[in-house]
């Protein structure tokens, strides 16, 4: 039936892809029996974007825990124990269908156990079922800080303004780009405001628009005293209103998956009030212009990455609406 990932060869045992597409477009759940022994059938569930293969439980349970977009359920019907292999199809309906029918063929035609059949079929479908894995801690901390800033912006500006201003996940301009001011958000778990700067463009003001660095310090805490990244995503998603589809698209772009929520159980809270630093001529930043003056043939230098400690630098107050997000110098008790 299949020869490689994503290619489906029609078989009398299974409906062809146009028929499959017709069932799916109908929008209603449908059951497709697969002739042979043991009894198998595929359930299409368009409302939940799932496609499922049911096979009688046999031998060792298939190990699907390390894969994304696929899981295993068990149930009993008329005294028979069944395994239901479920795949989240999203935009990969044909691949998901091909995977499950391949498993059924290995079980019915090759007389393999379900566990062995699933393992062999999965080896060819790793792109569809990429291994689960949390974002790195650095990515999580960075996202947490950006979402805190975006949350504040959403509370003081419309979703139509706030959501498009969030640029961090697409690596364009700066993390938050409003019409008259840009912000680069840096977050650390350290006791000092020491932040990693990647590249010579990250702290480069663009088109004459003022640039501020927002420095956040977070620390682990208990669930009743802080929020997890999952909590924060949910809160910002609710505030995003009509901008939620765009917000979700940006999250997916940086590797966030709601199905991985159990991987982000840590709770954080602010260690101190956020501070803002105007990135001006006195700010310690490596930019293309400065590097060009300091180093011969600077155009040959790439992958610049450095740390800047702003703990002792003078901080200020950015324009509204982000002025209410940060500590004002006169409020400091230090």
pLDDT tens for the chain, residues 1 to 334:
333 333 333 456 788 888 888 889 888 999 999 988 999 999 999 988 899 999 998 877 887 776 777 888 888 988 888 999 998 887 678 888 888 998 999 999 988 888 888 888 887 676 556 556 678 889 999 999 999 999 999 999 999 999 999 987 666 679 999 999 999 999 999 999 999 998 888 999 988 899 999 999 999 999 999 999 999 999 999 999 999 999 998 898 888 888 788 888 899 999 999 999 999 999 999 988 898 898 898 888 888 899 999 999 999 999 999 999 999 998 875 4
Is there a single domain that holds both residue 92 and residue 227? Answer: no
**Cα separation, 314 vs 283, whole angstroms:** 10
Burial (Cβ within 10 Å: 0-12, 13-18, ≥19) of residue 54: buried
Task: Provide the residue range defining the domain that includes 98.
Answer: 17-123
In a domain, 196, yes or no: yes
Q: Report how many domains make up the chain.
A: 2
Are 114 and 250 part of one and the same domain? no
119 and 181, same structural domain? no
User: Which of the listed residues 123, 145, 165 is the one where a domain comes to its end?
Assistant: 123
Asked if residue 240 is part of any domain, the answer here is yes
- Max Cα distance, the chain (Å): 79
Does residue 1 lie in a domain region?
Answer: no
Residue with tokens 């029918």: 101
Question: Which residues contact residue 174 at a Cβ distance below 8 angstroms, ignoring those fewer than 6 apart?
Answer: 167, 182, 183, 184, 202, 206, 211
- Residue 201: CA count within 13 A, CB half-sphere: 9
Cα gap 95→128, rounded to integer Å:
7
Claim to verify: residue 157 and residue 101 sit in the same structural domain: no
Output the pLDDT for position 144.
Answer: 97
Structural domain includes residue 6: no
| Domain-located, residue 244 | yes
- Distance (Å, rounded) from C-alpha 4 to C-alpha 21? 20
68 shares its domain with 192: no
Domain check: are 219 and 251 in the same one? yes
Looking at the structure, do residues 188 and 247 belong to the same domain, yes or no?
yes
Asked whether residue 70 falls in the same domain as residue 192, the answer is no
CB within 8 Å of 6: residues ≥ 6 apart: 94, 95, 98
At residue 88, the pLDDT reads: 86
> Are residues 230 and 101 both part of a single domain?
no
Residue 317 CA to residue 311 CA, distance in Å, equals 16
Tell me the sheet residues that pair with 228.
Answer: 267
- Radius of gyration of the chain, Cα coordinates, nearest whole angstrom: 26
In a domain, 170, yes or no: yes
Are the C-beta atoms of residues 81 and 135 closer than 8 Å to each other? no
pLDDT of residue 1: 36
Give the whole-angstrom CA distance, residue 230 versus residue 193.
25
Q: 3-class secondary structure for the chain?
A: CCCCCCCCCCECCECCHHHHHHHHHHCCCEEEEECCCCCEEEEEEHHHCEEEEEEECCCCCCCCCCECCEEEEEEEECCEEEEEEEEECCCCHHHHHHHHHHHHHHHHCCCCCHHHHHHHHHHCCCCCCCECCCCCHHHHHHHHHHHHHHHHHHHHCCHHHHHHHECHHHCCCCCEECCCCEEEEEEECCCCCEEEEECCCCCCCCCCCCEEEEEEEEEEECCCCCEEHHHHHHHHHHHHHHHHHHHHHHHHHCCCCHHHHHHCCCEEEECCCCEEEECCCCCCCCCHHHHHHHCCCHHHCCCCEEEEECCCCCCECCCCCHHHHCCCHHHCCC
Asked whether residue 97 falls in the same domain as residue 196, the answer is: no
Tell me how crowded residue 153 is: count the other CB atoms within 10 A of its CB.
24
Q: What is the distance between the alpha carbons of residues 298 and 293, in angstroms, rounded to a whole number?
A: 8
Burial (CB count within 10 angstroms: exposed 0-12, middle 13-18, buried 19+), residue 218: buried
Tell me the whole-structure pTM to 2 decimals.
0.65
Q: Is residue 257 part of a domain?
A: yes
Q: Are residues 264 and 165 in the same domain?
A: yes
pLDDT of residue 70: 84
Domain boundary among 123, 145, 172: 123
Q: Map tokens 């031998």 to a residue.
A: 59
Asked whether residue 262 falls in the same domain as residue 166, the answer is yes
Looking at 100, 123, 146, the residue that finishes a domain is: 123
Residue 11 included in any domain = no
């Amino acid at each position: 039936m299949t020869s490689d990932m994503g290619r489906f060869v029609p078989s009398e045992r299974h409906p062809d892809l146009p028929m499959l597409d017709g069932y799916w477009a109908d929008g209603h759940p449908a059951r497709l029996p697969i002739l042979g022994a043991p009894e198998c059938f595929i359930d299409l569930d368009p409302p939940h974007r799932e496609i499922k293969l049911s096979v009688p439980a046999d031998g060792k349970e298939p190990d699907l825990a390390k894969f994304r977009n696929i899981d295993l359920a068990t149930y009993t019907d008329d005294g028979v124990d069944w395994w239901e292999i479920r795949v989240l199809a999203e935009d990969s309906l044909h691949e998901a269908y091909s995977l499950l029918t391949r498993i059924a063929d290995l079980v019915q035609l090759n007389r393999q156990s379900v566990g062995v059949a699933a393992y062999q079929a999965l080896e060819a479908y790793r792109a569809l079922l990429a291994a689960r894995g949390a974002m790195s801690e650095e990515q999580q901390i960075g996202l947490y800080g950006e979402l805190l800033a975006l949350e504040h912006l959403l509370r003081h500006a419309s979703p139509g303004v706030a959501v498009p201003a969030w640029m961090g996940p697409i690596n364009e301009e700066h993390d938050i780009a409003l019409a008259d001011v840009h912000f680069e958000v840096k977050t650390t778990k350290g006791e000092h405001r020491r932040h990693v700067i990647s590249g010579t463009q990250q702290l480069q003001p663009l088109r004459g628009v003022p640039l501020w660095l927002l420095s956040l310090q977070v620390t682990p805490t208990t669930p009743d005293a802080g929020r997890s990244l999952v909590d924060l995503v949910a809160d910002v998603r609710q505030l995003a209103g009509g901008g939620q589809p765009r917000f979700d698209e940006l999250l997916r772009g940086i590797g966030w998956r709601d199905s991985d929520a159990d991987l982000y159980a840590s709770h954080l809270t602010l260690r101190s009030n956020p501070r803002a630093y105007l990135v001006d001529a006195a700010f310690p930043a490596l930019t293309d212009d400065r590097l060009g003056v300091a180093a011969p043939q600077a155009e040959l230098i790439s992958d610049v990455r450095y740390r800047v400690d702003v703990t002792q630098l003078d901080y200020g107050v950015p324009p509204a609406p982000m002025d209410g997000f940060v500590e004002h110098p006169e409020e400091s008790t230090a």
